[in-house]
């Protein structure tokens, strides 16, 4: 049964702690906006992520995508939760690119937004990106004659 592979009681406190710890390793020399993230998979593993900037600014990647890609690179496919910590007094919303990636790579995840002082908000990828473009739209197009 699918529910058996799920982490029954996700340890959100441990996931949040991993995201706060990851933030120390952010590489953000240009914006100085240090972000940490952590992904919890159904197998119980936690994958950290940080934002990694580049002198060619658009090459920068957000902490959320680093954490998600790292989990996928390790072969994980079921993301239970994703925590993200921003250096802000209020929780901050993930960027549009990360919302798009979350919707496809972590559609059943709980997203935990955290401020620098521990303020929290739980939200879903669907709430973050309503009416998002996803794999289903591509499936539909393949059925169309050329
Ligand atoms: N950033 C993230 O890592 N995640 C977010 O949710 C918002 C933005 C990064 C990208 C860039 O390195 C810096 O924060 C400022 O935009």
Task: Give SS3 for 85.
Answer: strand
pLDDT band at 119 (very low <50, low <70, confident <90, very high): very high
In this predicted structure, the answer to whether residue 2 has a pLDDT above a threshold of 50 is no
pLDDT of 129 above 70: yes
Which CATH fold would you assign to the domain 3-121?
Cytidine Deaminase; domain 2 (3.40.140)
Share above pLDDT 70 across residues of the chain, in percent, rounded to a whole number: 92
Q: Is the pLDDT of residue 19 over 70?
A: yes
Minimum CA distance residue for ligand 1 atom 1: 62
107 pLDDT more than 90:
yes
Q: Which of 25, 62, 92, 94 to mutate to test the pocket of ligand 1 (most atoms within 8 A of CB)?
A: 62
pLDDT of residue 1: 44
Regarding the beta carbon of 97 and ligand 1, being less than 6 Å apart is answered no
More confident residue, 143 or 54: 54
In the chain, the N- to C-terminal Cα span, in Å, equals 39
Residues labelled catalytic: 64
Domain ranges of the chain: 3-121
Report, as an integer, the average pLDDT of 54-81: 98
DSSP E strands in 4-140: the ranges are 36-41, 46-50, 79-85, 110-114, 120-123
* Span from the CA of 141 to the centroid of ligand 1 (angstroms): 33
Which pLDDT does position 3 carry in this prediction? 42
**pLDDT at position 4, please?**
46
């Amino acid at each position: 049964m699918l529910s058996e592979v799920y982490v029954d009681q996700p340890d959100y406190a441990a996931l949040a702690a991993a995201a706060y710890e990851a933030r120390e390793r952010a590489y953000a020399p240009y914006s100085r906006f240090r972000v940490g993230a952590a992904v919890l998979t159904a197998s119980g593993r936690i994958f950290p992520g940080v934002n990694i900037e580049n002198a060619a600014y658009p090459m920068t990647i957000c902490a959320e995508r680093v954490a998600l890609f790292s989990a996928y690179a390790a072969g994980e496919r079921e993301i239970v939760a994703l925590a993200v910590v921003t250096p802000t007094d209020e929780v901050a919303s993930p960027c549009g690119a990360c919302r798009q990636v979350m919707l496809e790579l972590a559609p059943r995840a709980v997203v935990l937004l955290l401020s620098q002082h521990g303020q929290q908000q739980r939200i879903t990828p669907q709430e973050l990106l309503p009416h998002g473009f996803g794999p289903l739209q591509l499936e539909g197009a393949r059925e169309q004659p050329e």
